[in-house]
């Protein structure tokens, strides 16, 4: 009887990873090019910015919240960076910034900081609305999602943006020691967030709030402040991801980042971050993002139409969250 229960628990915890793993192996057998170095490098480059987004979302989930504005914040950051980092001689320069002088390479870093500040402000608003106005995170961040999208539409007039400077696109195309910058940036972000989650009072407070918010408050944790910090940090990470995605794509539009928040939530739950709060690791987030990206790549190699890919991704999101809730119910 206990052996059956062990298998049942194993399937609840790792069932979706096993199924997706079988799909990946099957794809590798049917399409030998799937496991080529070139394709694996492409997957890794896709994982890097999405991991940064998912790590930002993970803090919200661990405190029993969520952030549905993540994807639109990514898109806004990409659009802001794109409009400020176009070539001086590009014929389709953005109207509001076409008279900017041709600054040096340092301007790329300044634009990144500008994007981070803008997204951090929206994260601050999210944190205040959730912490002080007691608006459920789902509703508060859904409203912010629409606001950010609207602001991005007003700012860009829904015009596609391109013609980026070489020193901007080099952030995504360049490498160090033969390893792409995107990988190094994601690695640094992962190490910093691991340190924050495991080695600082902030991390302890975050897990305490997710475990039992009332008990955490009674024990002296500043719940409101901690939540605000989490959403501000998430905003900064979304800005970084949007900046990198824009450089990688070589162009952007208001639709950049659309739906990324759902992918991030799914990746987090696949990787062991509980939507019921109090549980989650940075390493698990990385595994979840990698599994999700392998799924998308496998479907492309198997020739599955894009429309059906969305259906499969939706099923994975629903199943991963349902299994997470199932684990929570089993513990009660």
CB distance 60 to 234 below 8 Å: yes
Q: Total structural domains in the chain?
A: 1
pLDDT at 309: 86
Q: Is residue 169 part of a domain?
A: yes
Residue 231 burial class via C-beta count within 10 angstroms: exposed 0-12, middle 13-18, buried 19 and up = buried
Q: Is residue 11 part of a domain?
A: no
Closest CA to 133 of 141, 71, 279: 141
Q: Is residue 271 part of a domain?
A: yes
Q: Angle of helix 2-30 relative to helix 282-301, nearest 10 degrees? A: 50
Q: Is residue 9 part of a domain?
A: no
pLDDT at 24: 81
Q: Is residue 132 part of a domain?
A: yes
CB distance 245 to 49 below 8 Å: yes
Q: Could you tell me the sign of the dihedral formed by the alpha carbons of 97, 98, 99, 104, in that order?
A: positive
Separation of alpha carbons 304 and 299, rounded Å: 5
Q: Is residue 8 part of a domain?
A: no
pTM higher than the cut 0.75: yes
Chain centroid to CA 315: 19
User: What CATH number does the domain containing 185 carry?
Assistant: 1.10.3470
Helix (H) / strand (E) element for 180: namely: strand 179-180
Residue 17 burial class via C-beta count within 10 angstroms: exposed 0-12, middle 13-18, buried 19 and up = middle
pLDDT at 2: 47
Sequence length of the chain is 332
Mean pLDDT in consecutive groups of 10 residues from the start of the chain, 332 residues: 57 70 83 82 89 96 94 95 88 79 88 96 97 94 95 91 90 87 94 95 94 90 95 97 93 90 89 85 91 87 87 83 70 57
Q: Is residue 2 part of a domain?
A: no
Q: Which residues face 261 on adjacent strands?
A: none
CB distance 161 to 85 below 8 Å: no
Q: Could you tell me the sign of the dihedral formed by the alpha carbons of 111, 193, 248, 77, in that order?
A: negative
Q: What domain range includes position 171?
A: 17-331
For residue 175, give the 3-state DSSP assignment.
strand
Q: Is residue 5 part of a domain?
A: no
pLDDT at 178: 83
Tokens of 259: 């739906």
Closest CA to 249 of 156, 161, 155: 161
Helix (H) / strand (E) element for 16: namely: helix 2-30
């Amino acid at each position: 009887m206990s052996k059956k229960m062990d298998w049942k628990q194993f399937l609840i915890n790792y069932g979706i990873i096993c199924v997706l793993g079988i799909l990946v192996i099957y794809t590798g057998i049917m399409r030998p090019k799937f496991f080529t170095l070139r394709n694996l490098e492409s997957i890794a480059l896709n994982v890097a910015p999405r991991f940064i987004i998912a790590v930002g979302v993970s803090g919200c989930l661990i405190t029993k919240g969520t952030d549905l504005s993540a994807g639109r914040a990514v898109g806004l950051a990409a659009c802001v960076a794109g409009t400020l980092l176009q070539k001086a001689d590009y014929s389709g320069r953005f109207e509001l910034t076409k008279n900017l002088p041709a600054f040096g390479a340092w301007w790329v870093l300044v634009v990144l900081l500008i994007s981070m500040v803008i997204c951090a402000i929206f994260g601050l608003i999210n944190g205040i609305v959730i912490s002080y106005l007691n608006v459920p995170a789902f509703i508060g961040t859904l409203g912010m999602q629409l606001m950010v999208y609207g602001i991005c539409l007003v700012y860009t007039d829904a015009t596609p943006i391109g013609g980026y400077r070489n020193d901007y696109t080099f952030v995504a195309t360049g490498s160090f020691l033969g390893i792409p910058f995107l990988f190094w940036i994601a690695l640094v972000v992962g190490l910093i967030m691991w340190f924050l989650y495991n080695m600082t009072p902030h991390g302890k407070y975050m897990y305490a709030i997710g475990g039992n918010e009332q008990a955490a408050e009674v024990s002296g944790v500043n719940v409101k402040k901690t939540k605000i910090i989490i959403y501000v940090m998430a905003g900064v990470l979304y800005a970084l991801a949007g900046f990198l995605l824009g450089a990688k794509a070589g162009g952007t539009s208001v639709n950049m980042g659309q739906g990324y928040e759902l992918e991030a939530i799914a990746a987090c739950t696949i990787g062991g971050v509980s939507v019921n709060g109090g549980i989650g690791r940075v390493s698990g987030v990385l595994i979840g993002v990698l599994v999700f990206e392998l799924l998308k790549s496998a479907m492309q190699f198997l020739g599955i139409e894009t429309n059906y890919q969305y259906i499969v991704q939706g099923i994975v999101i629903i199943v991963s969250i349902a299994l997470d809730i199932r684990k929570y119910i089993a513990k009660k």
